[in-house]
Structure 1
Amino acid sequence: MELAKEQTQTSVKDRLTMGKFLAWKGRDISAASMQVIMTGYLLLFCTNTLMLSPVVVGSILMISKIINAITNLFAGFLVDNTNTRWGKARPYEISIVGVWICTVLLFSASPSWSEPIKIGFVFVMYFFIFSVFNSLLAASQTPYVIRAFPSRMQVIKVSSYGGIISMLGAMVVSVTFPIAMGKLATSPDGWRTLILIYAIPLCLIGVLRMIFVKEDSSIDADRVGEKIHLKEIIQMFKKNKYIWVYALIIGLFNVIQGMNVSAQYFKYVVGDISLQSIMGMLSLIMLPIMFVFPKLMKKLSVSNLIEFSAILAAVGYLINYFAGSNIPLLIVGSILSGLVMLPLSYLGSVIIMNLATNNEMHNLPRMEGSTGVTIGFVGAVFNGIGSGLIGVLLSFSGYISSETAIQPDSALLMIRSIFALIPMACMVGILFFAWRLSKLETQIPQMEKEIQARKLVE
């Protein structure tokens, strides 16, 4: 009887209501859509519409992202030390509004401005989007999720099933944006109109989480008012080696994100940027995988999922390199190379929880916020390196900054290499570090038992 009662209580605790789930995913859809636009089309807008050279744009993005890495640390410290009647992380969700306001302003820059003004404006807007608003959103993500969903299984469900919703939202933007871009983004005013069409509804969707999803004040109730000190964060860096292992995985993944030349690839190698919308539709093929994640998590760790997907992604990037303008081959390569995004993008909260448990095992506060932004710190630095490299490499290859230019063969070869070979090398590194991280995940059950026993003694 007692066992049946306990199982029933566990089942109720693990149940995820649809309304809360959909409200929660609103901000993820909004943020993911912004990332699609910024990583996929900002470089093209700056070079082809604002007429800035690739190396200048790459330098702007690199410097901004390195600054972003530093502000991530401050954001994590701020979130960890926040205690309001709304909760620890929930108040910072308003930052999604700032993200979209600055995105609209960024794509409203005029090519008629002088070059220093264009450079300064792009830098400032990019700084506010990522170094201020997105830093606060990233820092609050994990503390919010574990206080909004009371069980580990709910966190896994909202991360995996939620990935389906996020992917669908991002897919809508990925599919429709290139098509709308081909029709509207033929002038500076057209770019502004295009961004507004997406920004207004996505901003409204983005605030649903803050409005409807409350934090559970009973979680860490014994620590309300307790402050996280800088020395504890420094100790975390020294004692929790797995933070750096996971950070390097995210770092290499961010190099790929920072070196996104998909728009250039489809414009100049394939010859039709509107065909890029086909790649966006491939997310539909990956959706069934997200449905089985909770079941896979009972047999495999997140690290194992990353390992397997990294191997397949490396094969996919190799196919992409030889595909050229062959759409069927690009579809196969893109499906395989996109698999690694699933565990890295949608199951990160589970790994952060494990890293926080390791912090607690070392007699430190859990520090989910600071743990998360440490990962974000390294990710932002690597993303900045990728953004800087893409500008240097394109300029070195003879890339011409013009909407009507015919690119030389050297530039086309460089675009193909950035599109496929560099990401393939990064996948090999991700595979190695995921293998290292898997050692932590095997230790988590024992760690949790020891921590619970320690609390009972105290």
Structure 2
Amino acid sequence: MSERTTLQSNKKTGKLPWNERLSYGASDFACSFTFSLIGTYLMYFYTDVFGITASAVGTLMLVARIIDAIDGPFWGVMIDHTHTKWGKSRPYLLWFNAPFTIFTILCFMTPDLSMNWKIVWAYVTYIGIDVFYSAVNIPLTSILPSMTTDPDERVVLSTIRSLFSNFGGTLISVIALPLVTLFGGPNNPRRGFFLLAVMAAAVFFIIYLVVFANVREHVQTKQSQKPLPFKTSLKALKNNWPWLIVIGLNVIYWLGMQAKNQVTIYFFKYNLDKPELTSLALFFNAAGLISVFITPKLVMKFGKKRTLLFGLGTAVIGQLILGLGANSLNVPIVIIGTIVSNFGNGFVGALVAAMLADAVDYGEWKNGVRAEGIVTSASSFTAKFGMGMGGAITGILLSLGHYVPNKTQSASALFSIEANYVWVPMLAFVIAFIMLLFYRLTPEKEREMARFINKKHAEE
């Protein structure tokens, strides 16, 4: 099917061909495959392999969040100012593919430096990968409202994207440690992590070229044909309560998830004294694939809000079960809690992008301004901000617990690890649940906005 025919079909039905749907999903497989490696293992790499203290790592992640306060909105504004033959968001998938690939490798290099220079190296490479991740990931969310105005098709696209994302994150989490041993041997984790990063970076680079080739921006408006001034784009956020609630929820949710993910290896290595089970526990992230798969059917029946509330509530129950297992050092209960929690978390990943796309429509419906970049840039920015805060909290708690790498841990250190793995995430999920109770964008309102926007675009 030609691009012109596909575009005409999209305008009539809002549905996209499967090659475009799958390419869009593959984009987040690539992102999760690389960035989950960083989110899950980089703190452990810094403390137990590169030799940086936990407090220094926590400070680094906190400083990186200050940078995020600038770079996230920056990329959103840049997208709104971009006008090329490829569209507004799509060019960034090509332009920043190579820089992100390079910094993925640099993050896991271990040059022979003094402690101070090691910290400098970590700052430069970690902040670099953080900035370039925004450059390649924000466009994935900002392009969604430009691919279709059909709310149901957006849920389908978000579901496919989340399925691929969950699979990519689970896959790298499971195979990472075995590959580190394979590439570096049992006594050379530095070489192992470096070669693993090279492999992950190559996967990302190739997939993103395919994504750029297949994904298109079908929804064209007068505003999308020219750069959008910054002051004008900000009007899309005025009284945009759906947007405000979703980004707040995203910050809190990812704070909890990052605190949990990055201490998984610590928890199984030190608290349970079963490091060999780390990959198995991370494999059960795949439980989220089930929830992602059934998300569209639940949304059709109950709407996005109720489906997401169910997911967050399930995640809280899972963390409570996990807490019982952690307290009794009972591995089967820990695994059950992990599965239940991950099943609930799958709904969050499947729906946040779709809800932000709805917020783009809400900004146009409410304020007359369609600003995909500034509205959806909040997805990557708030996720990274939450992850950074989670990383900082982890570093602080490990430092307060007097964690010492590769040693038998004190009771206080073991509790600090447990707090990060169980209780910080549970509290975050509870807060996110409460915030979502105030979300008021119903399925009926979504359809009303879609009719209004389609009519407006047709008249234009």
TM-score (norm 2): 0.89
Once the two structures are superposed, the pairs formed by residues 192-271 of structure 1 within 5 Å of their partners are 192-216=194-218, 219-259=219-259, 260-271=262-273
Q: 1:372 aligns with which of 368, 373, 376?
A: 376
Q: Which amino acid aligns with 2:93?
A: E
Could you say if the C-alpha distance between residues 182 and 267 of structure 1 is closer, same or farther in structure 2, counting changes exceeding 3 Å? Answer: farther
Matched with 2:79 is: 79
State the Cα distance separating 1:393 from its structure 2 match.
1.0
135-144 vs 282-291, greater mean Cα deviation: 282-291
Could you say if the C-alpha distance between residues 383 and 288 of structure 1 is closer, same or farther in structure 2, counting changes exceeding 3 Å? Answer: closer
Structure 2 counterpart SS, 1:362: helix
Q: Which amino acid aligns with 2:64?
A: S
State the Cα distance separating 1:10 from its structure 2 match.
9.0
Structure 2 counterpart SS, 1:297: helix
Q: Which amino acid aligns with 1:166?
A: S
Matched with 1:390 is: 394
Matched with 1:173 is: 172
Once the two structures are superposed, the pairs formed by residues 181-196 of structure 1 within 5 Å of their partners are 181-184=180-183, 186-187=187-188, 188-196=190-198
Matched with 1:337 is: 341
Structure 2 counterpart SS, 1:407: coil
State the Cα distance separating 1:50 from its structure 2 match.
1.7
Please provide the CA RMSD for this pair. 2.5
Q: Which amino acid aligns with 1:222?
A: K
Counterpart contact for 2:295–2:350, Cα < 8 Å: no
Task: State the alpha-carbon separation in 2 of the partners of residues 202 and 457 from structure 1.
Answer: 40
Matched with 1:405 is: 407
State the Cα distance separating 1:235 from its structure 2 match.
3.3
State the Cα distance separating 1:90 from its structure 2 match.
1.1
Could you say if the C-alpha distance between residues 359 and 61 of structure 1 is closer, same or farther in structure 2, counting changes exceeding 3 Å? Answer: same
Counterpart contact for 1:316–1:335, Cα < 8 Å: yes
Residues 77-129 of structure 1 show CA distances to partners (whole Å, capped at 9, x for unaligned) of 0001111011111110132332221111110123x301222111111111121
- Unmatched tracts of structure 2, length 5 or more: 1-8
Counterpart contact for 2:235–2:369, Cα < 8 Å: no
Task: State the alpha-carbon separation in 1 of the partners of residues 14 and 283 from structure 2.
Answer: 32
Q: Between the two proteins, what is the percent identity of the paired residues?
A: 22
Task: State the alpha-carbon separation in 1 of the partners of residues 77 and 198 from structure 2.
Answer: 33
Q: Which amino acid aligns with 1:33?
A: F
Task: State the alpha-carbon separation in 1 of the partners of residues 12 and 448 from structure 2.
Answer: 25
State the Cα distance separating 1:454 from its structure 2 match.
6.7
State the Cα distance separating 1:175 from its structure 2 match.
1.6
Could you say if the C-alpha distance between residues 375 and 220 of structure 1 is closer, same or farther in structure 2, counting changes exceeding 3 Å? Answer: same
Once the two structures are superposed, the pairs formed by residues 142-153 of structure 1 within 5 Å of their partners are 142-149=141-148, 151-153=150-152
Task: State the alpha-carbon separation in 1 of the partners of residues 292 and 20 from structure 2.
Answer: 19
Counterpart contact for 1:228–1:365, Cα < 8 Å: no
Task: State the alpha-carbon separation in 2 of the partners of residues 442 and 183 from structure 1.
Answer: 54
Could you say if the C-alpha distance between residues 307 and 364 of structure 1 is closer, same or farther in structure 2, counting changes exceeding 3 Å? Answer: same
State the Cα distance separating 1:281 from its structure 2 match.
2.6
Task: State the alpha-carbon separation in 1 of the partners of residues 293 and 228 from structure 2.
Answer: 37
Task: State the alpha-carbon separation in 2 of the partners of residues 15 and 228 from structure 1.
Answer: 27
- Unmatched tracts of structure 1, length 5 or more: 1-8
Q: Does 1:430 align with 2:429?
A: no
Matched with 1:418 is: 420
Counterpart contact for 2:307–2:347, Cα < 8 Å: yes
State the Cα distance separating 1:399 from its structure 2 match.
0.3
TM-score (norm 1): 0.89
Matched with 2:163 is: 164
Task: State the alpha-carbon separation in 1 of the partners of residues 138 and 160 from structure 2.
Answer: 22
Once the two structures are superposed, the pairs formed by residues 85-104 of structure 1 within 5 Å of their partners are 85-94=85-94, 95-104=96-105
Task: State the alpha-carbon separation in 2 of the partners of residues 301 and 285 from structure 1.
Answer: 22
Counterpart contact for 1:399–1:411, Cα < 8 Å: yes
Task: State the alpha-carbon separation in 2 of the partners of residues 105 and 424 from structure 1.
Answer: 33
Counterpart contact for 1:301–1:438, Cα < 8 Å: no
Task: State the alpha-carbon separation in 2 of the partners of residues 438 and 331 from structure 1.
Answer: 36
State the Cα distance separating 1:177 from its structure 2 match.
1.2
Paired residues, what number?
444
Task: State the alpha-carbon separation in 1 of the partners of residues 228 and 360 from structure 2.
Answer: 14
Matched with 1:298 is: 300
Could you say if the C-alpha distance between residues 49 and 357 of structure 1 is closer, same or farther in structure 2, counting changes exceeding 3 Å? Answer: same
Q: Does 1:41 align with 2:41?
A: yes
Could you say if the C-alpha distance between residues 227 and 239 of structure 1 is closer, same or farther in structure 2, counting changes exceeding 3 Å? Answer: farther
Q: Does 1:114 align with 2:114?
A: yes
Task: State the alpha-carbon separation in 1 of the partners of residues 452 and 156 from structure 2.
Answer: 26
Counterpart contact for 1:354–1:441, Cα < 8 Å: no
Task: State the alpha-carbon separation in 1 of the partners of residues 450 and 15 from structure 2.
Answer: 22
304-313 vs 222-231, greater mean Cα deviation: 222-231
Structure 2 counterpart SS, 1:30: helix
Task: State the alpha-carbon separation in 1 of the partners of residues 91 and 459 from structure 2.
Answer: 35
Residues 309-359 of structure 1 show CA distances to partners (whole Å, capped at 9, x for unaligned) of 111111111111221343321221112211343232222232112111221
Task: State the alpha-carbon separation in 1 of the partners of residues 222 and 423 from structure 2.
Answer: 50
Counterpart contact for 1:242–1:440, Cα < 8 Å: no
Task: State the alpha-carbon separation in 2 of the partners of residues 457 and 212 from structure 1.
Answer: 28
Task: State the alpha-carbon separation in 2 of the partners of residues 287 and 224 from structure 1.
Answer: 34
Residues 271-296 of structure 1 show CA distances to partners (whole Å, capped at 9, x for unaligned) of 23331211233244443333322222
Task: State the alpha-carbon separation in 1 of the partners of residues 168 and 277 from structure 2.
Answer: 19
Counterpart contact for 1:256–1:386, Cα < 8 Å: yes
Structure 1 counterpart SS, 2:362: helix
Q: Does 1:277 align with 2:279?
A: yes
Matched with 1:5 is: none
Could you say if the C-alpha distance between residues 344 and 207 of structure 1 is closer, same or farther in structure 2, counting changes exceeding 3 Å? Answer: farther
448-457 vs 186-195, greater mean Cα deviation: 448-457
Matched with 2:323 is: 321
State the Cα distance separating 1:184 from its structure 2 match.
4.5
Matched with 1:3 is: none
Residues 350-397 of structure 1 show CA distances to partners (whole Å, capped at 9, x for unaligned) of 211211122112223121211112344344333322221211111111
Structure 2 counterpart SS, 1:214: coil
Could you say if the C-alpha distance between residues 73 and 205 of structure 1 is closer, same or farther in structure 2, counting changes exceeding 3 Å? Answer: same
Q: Which amino acid aligns with 2:107?
A: L
Q: Which amino acid aligns with 2:258?
A: G
Once the two structures are superposed, the pairs formed by residues 346-365 of structure 1 within 5 Å of their partners are 346-365=350-369
Could you say if the C-alpha distance between residues 456 and 148 of structure 1 is closer, same or farther in structure 2, counting changes exceeding 3 Å? Answer: closer
Once the two structures are superposed, the pairs formed by residues 115-154 of structure 1 within 5 Å of their partners are 115-131=115-131, 133-149=132-148, 151-154=150-153
